Structure 1
Amino acid sequence: MTFRKTVQALAASILCCGLLASAASAATELKHWPKEARAKIEAMIRANAHQGQYATFDMDQTTYRYDLLDPLLAYMDQKGLLTRETMDPAMKIIPFRDSPEFEGGKENMTSYYWRLCAMHDLISYPWASQIFSGFTLKELKKNLDEMLALKQPIKRQVWDGDKVVTVELPIPRMFRGMQELYAKLRENGIDVYIMTAAHEEIIRMVASDPKYGYNIDPEKVIGVTVLLKDPNTGELTTSRMQISEGRYDQKKNLDLVTTSFLTNPMTWFEGKQGSTIGYINQWQRPIMAAGDSTGSDTYMLESVNVERGGIKLWINRKPGNPVEDKKARWTIEHADKSAAEQNELNMPVTANKNWIFIDPDTIM
């Protein structure tokens, strides 16, 4: 071998080693996960890496701790930006319930929303996204970032039965474990999608903003969708329409105004599974799904491809033994019931397999 070839070979070897070292150092570790759960997740990833697989995740109480729209509504309510006077009249679906016990003698928007929640989820879920109509996405992003920067919960007066009480709405806190998991999945060629029953545009402001640590492709955030309006031309659109037409521009959309008009996708309850079929893949099932809500996340979780070793990840809302949590117990019982139904139908029994239940404190 000539001297020149020797030098070239040595240089190539050094470059190769450098690239391998760089790749090794870049590999994300699941440091903020319980040992047993980490081992199962890593095994699933190894078995399905770089094979065109994908995963679907809920956002509120799953990707981060607590809800997002509730404190944002309360924050904008508190600032006087979201009021009965400024709200879209179509969103006044029940009368306000005023009382001298409220500050100023008038029921606030937070209390109004809480009363809708007490009526039925199918009323409150869409309303919580529709109520932000009239604001540009830029205005919503500004208020969202301000709210997330708060160190203390937001206090608001609400009706509790026939009494007016003061409640505290906690500020969402990012799950370090989820930040790690999303990064590791992507490093191994597994696409990460957000499938949320909250306002798609507002959720995207967290999921796809690098400062919050999740780095989700904005096109892969799927949630409750309202029409967006160009204030200059009157043109109506949605991010999902733009994405399907290959002309999505997240930055340009910031000047668009939200409306209260709902359109597909409608991602609450069975809508999550329907939207997975409609907007991700009609036939291929996710290799992992994660959620925290009975009913709303159930269909999505049960759609996991267990035959390929897929994982159903349940994030409890309260700390403690995960399987003793009330919602977790309901989920386990429902999974067993579903498995029995599968067996009766001579179907592969998968509903009660490959569940992992997580204490939220362990992934903070």
Structure 2
Amino acid sequence: MKNRKSTKLLALGLVFALGLGMSTAFAALSVTPATTKVTVDGQAVEVEAYNIDNGNNYFKLRDFASNLDFGLSWDAATDTAAIDTTAHYKPDPTQLITGNWAPTTRARIQAVIDENANSGRYVVFDFDNTSVIFDVQEALLVYQIENLIFKIDPKEMTEVLETGIPDLNKEMGKSIDGKTITPATLAADISSDYAWLYENYEGFGAGGKFDLDYIHATNQYQDFAAKVRFMYNNLGDFFDHAVSYPWVTYLFTGMTPDEVQELATASHKYWASYGRYAEETWTSPIELPGESGIVSASFITGLTFTDELKDLYATLRANGIDVYIISASPIDTILAANEAMGYGVPEENVFAMRNKLGEDGRYINEYNYDWGGEGKYAQTQGPGKSTIITNFIAPKYDGVGPLMVFGDSAGDWNMMTDWMDEGDTVLGVIFNRYRKPSSDPIWEGSNQAAQTIGDPDARFVLQGRNENTGELRPSEKSIMLGSTEEVLVRPAA
């Protein structure tokens, strides 16, 4: 439909206008089927209409909800209908909305749900680029930098930045002006910038007199922003994921869990309403090269917490299938998204990166491998996701693995496949990011999914998305950011 929102509002006005006087006792009136014709965007649609001899025509709200795709619910206890123009029409809570699902992908997921409803099974979701389009923690890092929300003592910043990096002098490329970049040089420059910002920005409460607009124009802020983002972007390319994944969590040092969740909630809401999906670049100023020189770092703007995924979570629960999240983002970032964006997963069913708390209840720069039992809490990335299932989830289900796993990249491949040969996991749902066969093992599942589209017993299915609009697509094919071309699976090398 064209202009879905305005069409909905017009239709609702029509429904209410034609529905005046519904409290009249129908028993005393003559009711006959009406021949009223209704069109939506010029197309005829079928609705039940009745002509009442008091001069009114009446339509079923459910017919309008179905044809215009808006949410409608009924509370028998209060005799009240509730309309939600921001939601999709859902006649049966146990069935997925059509939305922008690829039809064969939706059908396969629904079939697995129907076959296993109320049978004591569970599913596991990744979060970033699966339950949401793009990455909540990467977006949060930009929000945190732009708003300078840090609780790290300037004297401790270098130590925090260097946490867990095994070789501080390892070369991480050359700067734009030809300098050798290492973790040590980046930490030195960022710490110097942060000390200046801490003294001068009024928001830190250390005697600074300048507001955020003024600070954003300074060389120190621009150097700080570009180099923090550069360090985050590049640690994963030069070190193991066990080094790079927890690193960003250390930037919450000095904060309480509540403070991090408040920060994350603000970030999620900001980026969800940003309305623009694009790659942007920060470049450090030539006036302040520091030890690392001039660097550039890029990131993607915008997040979409899609209706289809939130509905999927709800549909699984309506079918008696338990839902778990295992994410490589920090725990408070995911808890904030889960609560603020309406996914509705119990907090005890969410597993993500966790740092230790100090005696004052504030985070310190150390990963908490001992949460839930000595040495049991692995990093929630790659093989660690399967370890989390083995140690914390499967024991609740007599050791049985997940029924379905939803993911998008290498970090989800282990948990998607580790229980397949045993027959526990019957379906892997892959959100299509057009991954490379040389660097991402989930390409194998994507390739198999592409060859079995429409197979009622497919082990893997693909779901496309349009990264330029932040939406799922009714296709297995995706459109990547900055492109107009539909893509399915990269050719094998």
Establish whether TM, by shorter chain, passes 0.5: yes
Q: How far apart are the structure 2 equivalents of 1:148 and 1:289?
A: 24
The answer to whether residue 188 in structure 2 is matched with residue 188 in structure 1 is no
Letter in 1 for 2:426: G
The answer to whether residue 184 in structure 2 is matched with residue 95 in structure 1 is yes
Cα displacement string for residues 325-359 of structure 1 (whole angstroms, at most 9, x for unaligned residues): 53699546645999xxxxxxxxxxxxx96101111
Structure with more of its chain in helix, by fraction? 1
Unmatched tracts of structure 1, length 5 or more: 1-17, 232-255, 318-323, 339-351
CA 1:43 to 1:117, structure 2 compared with 1: closer, same or farther past 3 Å? same
2:229 to 97, 105, 110: 110
Counterpart of 2:184 in 1: which secondary structure? coil
**What is the 5 A alignment of 1:197-236?**
197-207=328-338, 209=339, 211-229=340-358, 231=360
Displacement of 1:96 in angstroms is 3.8
Q: Residue 300 of structure 1 corresponds to which residue in structure 2?
A: 415
Aligned CA RMSD, in angstroms, stands at 3.6
Displacement of 1:310 in angstroms is 1.8
CA 1:158 to 1:66, structure 2 compared with 1: closer, same or farther past 3 Å? farther
Letter in 2 for 1:263: N
Choose 1 or 2 for highest CA Rg.
Answer: 2
The answer to whether residue 190 in structure 2 is matched with residue 85 in structure 1 is no
What TM-score comes out, normalization by structure 2 length? 0.53
Answer whether contact 2:432 2:446 (CA < 8 A) is retained: no
Answer whether contact 1:286 1:303 (CA < 8 A) is retained: no
Structure with the bigger RCO (C-alpha within 8 Å, sep 6+) is 1
Counterpart of 2:334 in 1: which secondary structure? helix
Q: Residue 302 of structure 2 corresponds to which residue in structure 1?
A: 171
Q: Residue 255 of structure 2 corresponds to which residue in structure 1?
A: 135
Answer whether contact 1:158 1:166 (CA < 8 A) is retained: yes
Cα displacement string for residues 88-142 of structure 1 (whole angstroms, at most 9, x for unaligned residues): 5432223243499x93273432223223233233321011222212112222222
Displacement of 1:188 in angstroms is 0.7
Letter in 1 for 2:223: K
Q: Residue 244 of structure 1 corresponds to which residue in structure 2?
A: none
Q: How far apart are the structure 2 equivalents of 1:334 and 1:162?
A: 40
Answer whether contact 2:127 2:325 (CA < 8 A) is retained: yes
The answer to whether residue 466 in structure 2 is matched with residue 357 in structure 1 is no
Q: How far apart are the structure 2 equivalents of 1:142 and 1:335?
A: 37
CA 1:335 to 1:166, structure 2 compared with 1: closer, same or farther past 3 Å? closer
CA 1:162 to 1:326, structure 2 compared with 1: closer, same or farther past 3 Å? farther
Q: How far apart are the structure 2 equivalents of 1:261 and 1:203?
A: 19
Letter in 2 for 1:67: D
Letter in 1 for 2:429: L
Displacement of 1:280 in angstroms is 0.2
2:122 to 54, 62, 68: 54
Q: How far apart are the structure 2 equivalents of 1:87 and 1:148?
A: 28
Letter in 2 for 1:95: A
Displacement of 1:25 in angstroms is 4.7
Letter in 1 for 2:400: Q
Answer whether contact 2:230 2:297 (CA < 8 A) is retained: no
Unmatched tracts of structure 2, length 5 or more: 1-75, 82-89, 163-182, 194-217, 285-291, 370-376, 449-456, 474-493
Moved more, 327-336 or 122-131: 327-336
Answer whether contact 2:124 2:324 (CA < 8 A) is retained: yes
Counterpart of 1:194 in 2: which secondary structure? strand
Question: Identity rate of aligned residues, in percent?
Answer: 22
Q: How far apart are the structure 2 equivalents of 1:285 and 1:216?
A: 19
Moved more, 267-276 or 81-90: 81-90
Answer whether contact 1:147 1:171 (CA < 8 A) is retained: no
Counterpart of 1:281 in 2: which secondary structure? helix
What TM-score comes out, normalization by structure 1 length? 0.71
Q: How far apart are the structure 1 equivalents of 2:138 and 2:323?
A: 25
Q: How far apart are the structure 2 equivalents of 1:328 and 1:315?
A: 18
CA 1:305 to 1:118, structure 2 compared with 1: closer, same or farther past 3 Å? closer
The answer to whether residue 436 in structure 2 is matched with residue 326 in structure 1 is yes
Cα displacement string for residues 189-222 of structure 1 (whole angstroms, at most 9, x for unaligned residues): 1100001111112211112x1x412111111001
Q: How far apart are the structure 1 equivalents of 2:155 and 2:134?
A: 27
Answer whether contact 2:268 2:337 (CA < 8 A) is retained: no
CA 1:328 to 1:147, structure 2 compared with 1: closer, same or farther past 3 Å? farther
Letter in 1 for 2:142: A
CA 1:309 to 1:193, structure 2 compared with 1: closer, same or farther past 3 Å? closer
Answer whether contact 2:382 2:412 (CA < 8 A) is retained: yes
Letter in 1 for 2:409: S
Aligned length: 298
CA 1:333 to 1:360, structure 2 compared with 1: closer, same or farther past 3 Å? closer
Answer whether contact 2:328 2:352 (CA < 8 A) is retained: yes
CA 1:276 to 1:123, structure 2 compared with 1: closer, same or farther past 3 Å? same
CA 1:87 to 1:272, structure 2 compared with 1: closer, same or farther past 3 Å? farther
CA 1:310 to 1:356, structure 2 compared with 1: closer, same or farther past 3 Å? same
Letter in 1 for 2:357: L
Answer whether contact 1:28 1:180 (CA < 8 A) is retained: no
